[in-house]
Amino acid sequence: MRLTVDGQSFDIDAVPDMPLLWALRDLIGKTGPKFGCGIAACGACTVHVDGQPVRSCSLPVGKVSGAVTTIEGIGTAGRLHPVQQAWLEEQVAQCGYCQAGQIMSAVALLDEVADPSDADIDNAMGGNLCRCGTYPRIRSAIKKAAALKTAGL
């Protein structure tokens, strides 16, 4: 089966009910999306399919019809996405394990709402669990990212 991930095309040999997450991690080698729960309860595996955030641990790879974007596809160390830049400036991450999922949810939020309110943030990010409790800095980073994006940075 054929999968487009971060702008690149991959031929993979997977059973159709294998979750997208494991196809990405074990078959393609994209380890940015993380395994946290396997039941779409923590958001660590969040990627975009055609721009929409999905929990890749619970989406069978056989059902994926659109282009997949992972944390590795939105920016690089030399050219960060505004959300990654804001995360860096606000020093958000602690252990960092959930942050790829947090960032992918935040990117999707800002694509939808340019200037999110606290309530927008709470709604969009409620499915992303962080055991280190980085939520206060996530809130400020999303607001900073919104400003960076608006300023075209």
Partner 1 sequence: MASVGKIARRTFLIGAAAVAGGVAVGYYYYRKPFPNPLEGDLAQGEVTFNPYVKIGADNTITIVAPRAEMGQGISTTLAVMVAEELDVGLDRVKVEHGPASHAYYNAVILEEGGPFAFFDESMTAQAVRSGLGVVGKFLALQGTGGSTSTRDGFDKMRQAGAAARQMLIAAAAQKLGVAAADLETADGSILHKASGKSLTYGAVAAAAAAMAPPAEVRLKDRTDWKLLGKPQKRIDMLAKVTGAPIFGIDVRLPDMLYGTVKMSPRFWSRPVKADLSKAEKMPGVIKIVPLETNYGHGFGIIAENTWAAFNAAQAIDAQWSDPEYPPSSAAISDVLKQALGTKGSVMRDNGDVDTAFADAPRERIVEADYGVPYLAHATMEPMNATAQLRGGALDIWCGNQAPTLVRQLCANAVGIEQDKITVHTTFMGGGFGRRVEMDYALCAALMAKETGGRPVKVTWTREEDMRHDAYRPAAIGKFQARLGDDGMPVAVDMKMAAPSITAGMLRRLFPSISPLGPDKTIVDGAYDQPYTIPNYRVSGVAAPVSIPVGSWRSVGSSVNGFFHEGFMDEIAVAGKIDPVEMRKRLMAAYPSAVKVVEKVAAMAKWGEALPAGKAKGMAFTLSFGSWVGEIVQVADTPAGIRIEKVWIAADVGTALDPGIIEAQLVSAAIFGLSAAMGQEITFADGMVEQSNFHDFDAMRIFQCPVFEVAILENFHKMGGVGEVGTPPAAPALANAIFALTGKRIRTLPLSKTVAFV
Contacts to partner 1 by CB under 8 A: 15, 18-19, 22, 25-27, 29, 31-39, 41-42, 44, 70-72, 75-77, 80, 84, 87-88, 91-100, 103, 121-123, 125-126, 128-139
Complex with partner 1: residue 67 or 132, whichever CB lies closer: 132
Tokens 């969009």 identify what position? 124
Answer for the pair 59, 20: CB distance below 8 angstroms, yes or no. Answer: yes
Q: How far is the CB of 140 from partner 1 (least distance, A)?
A: 11
Complex with partner 1: residue 115 or 122, whichever CB lies closer: 122
Answer for the pair 144, 90: CB distance below 8 angstroms, yes or no. Answer: yes
- Cβ-proximal residues to 142 (8 Å cutoff; 6+ apart), any chain: 83, 86, 106, 109, 110, 116, 121, 125
Q: How far is the CB of 143 from partner 1 (least distance, A)?
A: 13
